[in-house]
Structure 1
Amino acid sequence: MHAIIQSLCSLWQSSWQGMVMGELKYRKGSGGSGPYRVSASGRRIVRVSAVSPSGERMDLMLFPAAGFAVGGRKAEGGVYWHTFSADEVRQYSASVGDHNEIHQTESPIVSGFQIAEAMEGLEGKQDFRIRFHYPVRSGEAVSLRSEGKTVSGMTDVLCFVWEAL
């Protein structure tokens, strides 16, 4: 998964600075051939896709940060999962080539890619979708609550919902 994330980050455009991820969809693939294919479209809502030579696919939607993280729903329950340190967030973003400044501040926002890779390790290699509702900041304790095929990630509010496809 790390390589396909790097290919998506290679498309970075300065006009995306400060945008946040609204949704990420991952399909592990079942074979294929040829080079990576990456594409991006849109201005206000940006859709970015990559397909690896093996057929692995990742699609994401980016939204302007203004107005995205307003009115998060109060989260209840769950079991402690992880606290991402600021250094961990900055190092991860550098490792994949994610140049969004929101991942480089003193109190950075955790990359949706970083959450996806961490959840992949927890939930196993399978197809999934993550919908992001509120950003996770470094230093915040993240708890998880499982319900069927979905896992909710939360701090004091609902931050993301991971769903097996």
Structure 2
Amino acid sequence: MHAIIQSLCTLWRPSWQGMVMGELKYRRGGGSGGPYKVAASGRRIVRVSASSEAGERMDLLLFPAAGFAGGARAGEAGAPWHRFSADEVRRYSASLGDHNEIHQSERPIVSGFQIAEAMGALEGDRDFRIRFHYPIRSDEMVSLRKEGKAIYGVTDVLCFIWEAL
């Protein structure tokens, strides 16, 4: 999964500075991945995708951060899962070539890619979709709550919903 994420980061545009992910979908396909075809479209809401000849595919939607002004109440928190340190967030983003300043600040926002890879490691090698509701800042404890096929990632608000496809 890391290679397809890196391919998506090659599309970076300065006009995307400060945008956040609204949704990420990942499908493994049948082969080892690569070489990747990457594409982006849109202005206010940006769709970015990468696909390989082997059928691996990742699609994401980027939104202006202003769209995340408030968060939904988290409800029951669930079990503590992970606290991403600021250094961990900055190193991960640098490893991808992700130039979005929101991942490099003093208290950076955790990359949606980083959450996707961490959840992939937790839930196994499968196709999934994550809908992001509110950004996670470094040093916030993220708890997970499972309801049916969905896993809810929460801090003091609902941050994401992960679902197997």
Determine helix, strand or coil for the equivalent of 1:67: helix
CA gap 1:146/1:18 in 2 versus in 1, 3 angstroms: same
- 1:1-165 equivalent positions in 2, closer than 5 A: 1-31=1-31, 35-165=35-165
- Structure-2 separation of matches of 1:83 and 1:47: 29
**Partner Cα separation in structure 2 for residue 125 and residue 91 of structure 1:** 24
CA contact (8 A) 1:37 1:51 kept: yes
Gap regions ≥5 residues in structure 2: none
Aligned partner letter, 1:84? F
Q: Secondary structure of the residue that 1:114 maps to in structure 2? A: helix
Unaligned 5+ segments in structure 1 are none
Aligned length: 165
What's the secondary structure of 1:91's corresponding residue?
Answer: helix
Tell whether the 8 Å contact from 2:41 to 2:48 is kept in structure 1 after alignment. Answer: yes
Cα offset for 1:54? 2.5
1-side partners of 2:83 and 2:32: how far apart?
37
Query: Separation in 1 of the partners of 2:106 and 2:77?
Result: 29
Q: Deviations over 1:126-149 (max 9, x none)?
A: 000000000000000000001121
Aligned equivalents of 1:69, 1:41: Cα separation in 2: 24
Q: Report percent identity of matched pairs.
A: 77
- Give the Å deviation of 1:59: 0.1
TM-score normalised by length of structure 2: 0.96
Deviation at 1:80, TM superposition (A): 0.4
Instruction: Give the partner amino acid of 1:22.
Output: G
SS in 1 for 2:162: strand
Residue 68 of structure 2 aligns to a residue whose secondary structure is coil
Question: Which residue identity lines up with residue 164 of structure 2 in the other structure?
Answer: A
Aligned residue type for 2:75? A
Amino acid of the structure 2 residue aligned with 1:54: A
Tell me the alpha carbon deviations over residues 26-71 of structure 1, each in whole angstroms, 9 at most, x when there is no partner. 0011238873100000000000000124221000000001132324
Q: Please, what TM-score do these two structures have when normalized by structure 1?
A: 0.96
SS at match of 1:126: coil
